[in-house]
Structure 1
Amino acid sequence: MPAKKSTFKTAGKTHSGTGRAGKKPGMSTSLIPPRGVSDWKDAARFLRARGIEDIECITPDLAGVPRGKMMPTSKFTSNTSLALPSALYRHTISGDYPDEHGGFRYEPRDSDLKLVPDLSTLTTVPWESDPTAQVICDVVGSDGEDVPYTPRSVLKRVLSLYEKRGWRPVVAPEIEFYLVAQTDDPDLPLSPPIGRSGRPIVAGQAYSIAGINEFDELIDDIYHFCEAQGLEIDTLIHEEGPAQLEINLRHGDPLELADQVFYFKRTIREAAIKHGTFATFMAKPMQGQPGSAMHIHQSLVDIETGRNVFSLENGEPSPEFFHFIGGMQKYVPSTLVMMAPYVNSYRRLTPDMACPVNTAWGYDNRTTAFRIPVSDPVARRVENRLPSSDANPYLALAASLACGYLGIENQVDPSAPTADTANEGDIDLPRGLLEALALLEDEPALTSVLSGEFIDLYAGIKRGEFETFMEVISPWEREFLLLHV
């Protein structure tokens, strides 16, 4: 098949490319797509045509951090068995191993989990100086079955519930992030980087063309890296915060989009480092500035007919549409810890900071947690505006879709749509990590859709992270308690 031609648009920018990576002289990649092959024979051809020397076999841990092994291409194509210890899924973001508590337990033998490459994700690593490829792997046990607590498995479990109904979810993530000046001192507040003008960019630059142009060369590299990997960006804009950008991805299959977000985060960080800056997906990296979200647009398609399940034949909203919203309203507070997974995440979820702190829904209402964008019936969808960009994309998508599924399954009716500002008054969401975690553990309906094993493991990790956080004394405490209490 011909190399996929892609055109990417940003405010003031259009980039086109075939997505070709480096290759050996005389070997054409014109018949090989930049991302994904169907079998091992095509994988060998992909690697050979590009002169790939090493391949990174990676998989997301519970935080979404790439873990895995690198090997020579010859070993990868010779059916080499790849394994990682089960303890990989039992440590916190800081690398600590929490005490056993409740349902959280360590595997007594710390036995191996096997990595199984998903060849549909095979692509290059364009920022490496030597020709290198990468592939995302599923994680299976000794019996060959998916390990239920790994992020890809959790998402696939939720998708299988929809498939049994004859439906296929379609999603489109929007990912916000900040560019910040490099620093090696975690005690110092983060600051915007210096742009091409020689001055740090300031806040209040939403949709600014000049704000985008401050980082032209860095953004060019993001596009070049994405083209080489066959990753498609729909749009890129400057957001409200200083040097805060947003990338919108084209809608598609949830697992594929989670894979793309997984790759995109890595790509953006590498492009930023190349230009002497950091890219951060922290939910709230700067005090007094807007947080970074990962909004998720969601719809359902009938597998047989291809019609939007959220719309009736006459174009009116379907009962499933309203029940999906009802499920979001009822169950999202109990899954918020999967969409806002760190203590820092709840600093974003505060009033008056361009972020919903409610469970309301409304038509084209950005103050609600669940917004219904203006669209034709064929594109009717529900936007979940609660997830933060620090979330593991596999778990955030799994949580959001699980809530909608439970709403349809249990025929949960939504409240009336909100036509006015919804972000005034009481906060309808948990205010901190432990409160959110308790809601996850206390909702029995989620055990069947996410698996009890995952919930127990995830809860143990999050409690461990909270205890580590509590060991740190903040500047606020030093400023206001040091001489006053």
Structure 2
Amino acid sequence: MAKKRTGEQEATLSSPRGVKSLAEAKAWMAARGITEIECTVPDLAGVARGKIMPSSKFFSSPVMNLPLSIFFQTISGEYPDYEGLVDSVVADSDLVMEPDFSTLATVPWAQDPTAQIIHNAYHRDGRPVELAPRQVLKSVLGLYAKRGWKPVVAPEIEFYLVEPNTDPDYPLKPPVGRSGRPEIGRQSYSIQAVNEFDALFEDIYDYSEAQGLEIDTLIHEDGAAQMEINLRHGDPLELADQVFLFKRTIREAALGHKIYATFMAKPIANEPGSALHIHQSVVSAETGKNIFSDEDGDPTPEFFSFIAGHQKYLPSVMCILAPYVNSYRRLTRDSMAPINVQWGYDNRTAGLRVPPAPPAARRLENRVPSSDANPYLVIAASLACGYLGLVKGLRPTEPLEGDAKNLDFDLPRGLLEAVAAFEENEDLSEVLGRSFVTTYSAVKQAEFETFMRVISPWEREYLLLNV
């Protein structure tokens, strides 16, 4: 006679996202007729690496092996010089990937019933892989936990919809909406402009609901066919997982409508760049109260130290927040993006904004990161800056009331400058791990060398016949 399920088991089976064990995963997948599962791990770029296997094979052996080199691969598929990096990468040793059952979800756009699950990376002796983005974030969260703190974040993701572009030599163009016409001007916060792509956004909402991803709001941003999706606040690791999955979800939904969705920081000339804003607060693990507000509702010294940490250390983590050559095209004085680490109350021209909020929701918005960044590493880097400010008791500058764009640049202007600042900062190396800093820097330098092999249209236009 079959055992009767408990209410908790029934809730697990009906939940669109996450279980607690292999046995629950088996029941969850059986209830949905899942025949395949995508076993993924995010690499340094935030790209999903892994294997697709029949569900029967997954349950016979849920742990998979992948080579260490997946955490050394550049965005173009090449590898940096291994000299000076960890010895084991030379042999390209296998890593052990163990599934995080809390991330189990369906793949709603797949033709056959398919599930997906994110894995954690371990060395064969059981040590977490210090280069894995998920582990970098976990390590930073562990530092907060030792102090009795728990960070809370809420990401905002901007992206463009563009016409399919199969020849990279041609500029990107806005897609044609339901009216039969592309956007020709700025449509910030326009409901009608969003309605042009209603069928696409309905699919995004449906796909998100099927995966247990929670969208807070959807808006049209400043650029032509530029959109923003805001996620609800919560645990940093869970929200990083959601951004990781959202990017793929949005791309897949767009492809279904013969449109590209791109998270490039600056995909179209003369249009605003795309950001990945991170709202951050810190609560007491014991009481759940926001440590940025005191009993009277006033800001605490910890709040100002958190801001000061960002002011001091953000320039040194820019190669994480703006990880590609293209990212720095967004950070210009004539764009909507910040160019320095000034802070202010409800000041969107500053890199660090304190939004209007009641004391319980007092938070800092980091407006510097671009949407091309790895969400795990962006959140880890931003929280690392705040952590260093907290433990060192740093004090910020006075809040800025005017236009921060009229002030000097505080941030690196290019990738190599940003990498050098990252490598030289010992405080960040201690928080993020020296091996991660060394490896990440090597990957970014290799990507820059790849970029330098390409001759741009600007060079052909202005240099070909004039020099």
> TM-score range, shorter-chain basis?
over 0.9
Kept in 2, the 8 Å contact 1:197–1:214? The answer is yes
For 1:9-88, list aligned pairs within 5 A. 31-88=13-70
Find out whether 1:227 has 2:204 as its counterpart: no
Task: Name the CA distance, whole Å, in 2 between partners of 1:117 and 1:81.
Answer: 7
Could you give the per-residue CA deviations for residues 88-137 of structure 1, whole angstroms, max 9, x where no partner exists? 11121000122235557662321101111000000000000100000000
Paired with 1:481 and 1:33, the residues of 2 have a C-alpha distance of 60
Letter in 2 for 1:369: G
The CA RMSD measured in Å over matched residues stands at 1.6
Point out where structure 2 has 5 or more consecutive residues left out of the alignment.
Answer: none
Query: Hey, what does 1:447 align to over in structure 2?
Result: 429
Pick aligned residue for 2:442 from 460, 475, 482: 460
Q: 1:182 aligns with which of 143, 155, 164?
A: 164
- Residue pairs, 1:300-311, within 5 angstroms: 300-311=282-293
Equivalent residues of 1:37, 1:119 under 8 A apart: yes
1:218 to 194, 200, 210: 200
Q: Report SS of the residue matched to 2:121.
A: strand
Secondary structure in structure 1 of the residue aligned to 2:383: helix
Which residue identity lines up with residue 113 of structure 1 in the other structure?
L
- Paired residues of 1:345 and 1:390 also in contact (CA < 8 A): yes
Equivalent residue runs for 1:59-458 within 5 Å: 59-100=41-82, 102-103=84-85, 107-458=89-440
| Residue 455 (structure 1) shift | 0.5
Residue by residue, what CA displacement relative to the aligned partner does 1:260-309 show, whole Å, maximum 9, x if unpaired? 00000000000000000100000000001000000000000101111001
Q: What percentage of residue pairs aligned between the two structures are identical?
A: 60
SS of the counterpart of 2:404? coil
Q: Measure the CA separation in 2 of the matches of 1:255 and 1:274.
A: 29
Deviations 1:403-434 (A, max 9, x none): 00000111111000001111113211100000
Shift of 1:203: 3.0
- Alignment partners' CA distance in 1, 2:86 and 2:453: 21
Deviation track 1:347-381 (CA, whole Å, cap 9, x = no partner) reads 00111211110110000000110000001100000
Q: Quick one: distance in 1 between partners of 2:329 and 2:234?
A: 31
Q: Secondary structure at the match of 1:323?
A: helix
Mapped partners of 1:97, 1:44: distance in 2: 38
Name the CA distance, whole Å, in 2 between partners of 1:74 and 1:462.
39
Paired residue type of 1:382 = L
**1-side partners of 2:377 and 2:271: how far apart?**
26
Give how far 1:79 is off: 3.0
* CA distance in structure 2 between the partners assigned to 1:450 and 1:221 by the alignment: 38
Counterpart AA for 2:70: L
1:29 Cα offset (Å): 8.4
Which residue of 1 is the match for residue 457 of structure 2? 475
Please say if residues 2 and 33 of structure 1, whose CA atoms lie closer than 8 Å, have aligned partners that are also in contact.
no
Mapped contact 2:63–2:99 kept (Cα < 8 A): no
Q: Which protein has the bigger helix share?
A: 2
Looking at structure 2, the residues matched to 104 and 382 of structure 1 have their Cα atoms a distance apart, in angstroms, of 36
Alignment partners' CA distance in 2, 1:408 and 1:271: 41
In structure 2, what residue type is equivalent to 1:430? P
Give 3-state SS (helix, strand or coil) of 2:209's partner. Answer: helix
What's the CA shift for 1:319? 0.7
Greater alpha carbon shift after TM alignment, 244-253 vs 92-101: 92-101
Contact 1:258 1:393 in 2 (8 A): yes
Separation in 2, partners of 1:233, 1:108: 42
In structure 1, C-alpha distance between the alignment counterparts of 2:245 and 2:131, rounded to whole Å: 21
Kindly state the Cα deviation for residue 3 of structure 1 after the two structures are TM-superposed.
11
Amino acid at match of 1:196: R
Residue identity in the other structure for 1:252: G
2:62·2:98 contact (CA, 8 Å) conserved in 1?
no
After superposition, what is the alpha-carbon deviation per residue over 1:317-350, rounded to whole angstroms, capped at 9, x for unaligned? 1111000000000000000110100000000011
Contact preservation (8 Å) 1:83, 1:112: yes
CA contact (8 A) 2:66 2:96 kept: yes
Q: Which amino acid aligns with 2:267?
A: P
CA change 1:2–1:80 in 2 (3 A) is: closer
Contact 2:34/2:113 (CA < 8 Å) preserved in 1? Answer: yes
Change over 3 Å in CA distance of 1:475–1:158 after alignment to 2: same
Q: Is the 8 A contact 1:29 1:49 kept in 2?
A: no
**Distance change in 2, residues 1:299/1:483 (3 Å):** same
Q: Distance in 1 between matches of 2:441 and 2:412?
A: 15
With over 3 angstroms needed to count, the CA separation of the structure-2 counterparts of 1:162 and 1:371, relative to structure 1, is same
Per-residue CA distance 1:181-236 (angstroms, 9 max, x = gap): 00210000000000000001123100001110000100000000001101110000
Runs of 5+ consecutive residues of structure 1 not aligned to the other structure:
5-27
Cα gap change, 1:105/1:333 in structure 2, threshold over 3 Å: closer, same or farther?
farther
Shift, 1:32, TM fit: 2.0
Between the two proteins, the alignment pairs up a number of residues equal to 462
Q: Indicate conservation of the 8 Å contact 1:104/1:460, yes or no.
A: no
TM-score (norm 1): 0.93
In 2, Cα distance between the equivalents of 1:200 and 1:106?
51
**1:429 aligned counterpart, secondary structure:** coil
Aligned mates of 1:477, 1:2 — CA distance in 2: 68
- State the secondary structure of the residue aligned to 1:58: strand
